[in-house]
């Protein structure tokens, strides 16, 4: 039995959820998100909550149960509060600057890296060494943050690079004489 799957997802005030043609639509103050529904799971929108149950007792249905409940929960949280990932840049001369729908990174290469910001996401740079990616879709926020981080992953000797806020960088000792 899935411990996560058993809990119904609460629908806060100002949010509406509807099931239509195999998709779950959740509409809230920040926007609308949809999720394609699996045939192995039964979804019910009741007063103030969405419940998720396996359609049968197969192993695959029970495997999907907790994940599908979490995806539904992410839809509700996204349209109410949204998601934010914060990245910190460490290194001499490494900087970031948000310019309209582009993010300009200076990461020690011979050229600047220009990344177009995907639709539905917002990128802010409160200072030159901090990047905040925010939006209502958790997957899109995480994917774009990972693409930014990919340009200069943190290295273990000096800790230079782009890291998520709160991420622990395993440090190694340098060469000894």
The domain segmentation of the chain, as residue ranges, is 3-80, 83-164
Cβ 133 vs Cβ 145: under 8 Å: yes
Does 83-164 match 3-80 at the fold level?
yes
DSSP-derived 3-state class of residue 49: strand
The CATH number given to 3-80 is: 3.90.930.12
- Whether the per-residue pLDDT at 109 is higher than 70: the answer is yes
CATH topology of domain 83-164: Outer Surface Protein A; domain 3 (3.90.930)
Widest distance between CA atoms in the chain:
70
**Confidence (pLDDT) at 117:** 96
> What's the token pair of residue 102?
């582009």
- Asked whether the predicted pLDDT for residue 1 surpasses 70, the reply is no
pLDDT in tens, 48-104: 899 999 999 899 999 999 999 999 999 999 999 999 999 999 999 999 999 989 999
d(CA 84, CA 67): 21
Q: Is 136 exposed, middle or buried (0-12, 13-18, 19+ CB in 10 A)?
A: buried
Q: What is the pLDDT of residue 72?
A: 95
Is the pLDDT at 3 greater than 90, yes or no? Answer: no
Question: What is the reported pTM?
Answer: 0.90
Alpha-carbon gap, residue 160 to 157, rounded angstroms: 8
């Amino acid at each position: 039995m899935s411990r996560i799957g058993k809990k119904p997802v609460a629908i806060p005030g100002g949010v509406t959820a509807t099931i239509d043609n195999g998709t779950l639509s959740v509409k809230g103050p920040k926007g609308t998100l949809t999720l394609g529904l699996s045939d192995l799971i039964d979804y019910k929108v009741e007063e103030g909550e969405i419940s998720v149950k396996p359609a049968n007792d197969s192993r695959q249905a029970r495997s999907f149960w907790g994940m599908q409940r979490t995806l539904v929960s992410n839809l509700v949280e996204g349209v109410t509060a949204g998601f934010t990932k914060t990245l910190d840049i460490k290194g001499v001369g490494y900087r970031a600057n948000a310019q309209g729908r582009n993010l300009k990174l200076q990461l020690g290469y011979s050229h600047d890296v220009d990344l177009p910001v995907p639709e539905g996401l917002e990128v802010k740079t409160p200072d030159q060494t901090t990047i905040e990616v925010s939006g209502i879709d958790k997957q899109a926020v995480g994917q774009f943050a990972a693409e930014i981080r990919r340009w200069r992953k943190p290295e273990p000797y000096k800790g230079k690079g782009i890291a998520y806020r709160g991420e622990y960088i395993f440090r190694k000792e340098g060469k000894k004489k």
